[in-house]
Amino acid sequence: MQLTHRAKVPETNGEFATVRSPDSDHYIEINWYEGQEVHSGDELDHIAFEVDDLDSTVTQLASIGVKTVTITIESPNSKWTYIKDPDGIWIELFQKKA
């Protein structure tokens, strides 16, 4: 995999990097936040999916009983919220802003 992007996240006092395989449109985002106690390898923190329209996606999921577990958070470049899967793993849904 190759590093495609790395940036600081002032809102969380952390940073993230994205990596992808050369022949794929899919990527993995790796996050780090200062001051959070994380035990490497203990468990999956969360998985994220980019959606075209976050509000519409949340409304559609709510119609089948899926509830968000956080408020919608906005930054200058994106907005996101979280839901939980049946096993309790957090799923991030995010929308890039134009």
3-state secondary structure of 63: coil
Strand partners, 92: 48, 82
Give yes or no: residues 53 and 98 share one domain.
yes
Residue 50 shares a structural domain with residue 83: yes
Q: Whose structure tokens read 């999916």? A: 49
Domain contains 2: yes
Provide φ and ψ at 26, rounded to 5°.
-85, 150
| Domain containing residue 77 | 45-98
For residue 42, the model assigns a pLDDT of 53
3-state secondary structure of 91: strand
Q: Tell me: do 57 and 15 sit in the same domain.
A: no
How would you write the pLDDT of the chain (98 residues) with one tens digit per residue? 899 999 988 877 888 888 998 888 888 888 777 776 655 555 566 788 899 999 999 999 999 989 899 999 999 999 999 998 887 778 899 999 98
CATH number at residue 69: 3.10.180.10
Instruction: Give yes or no: residues 25 and 52 share one domain.
Output: no
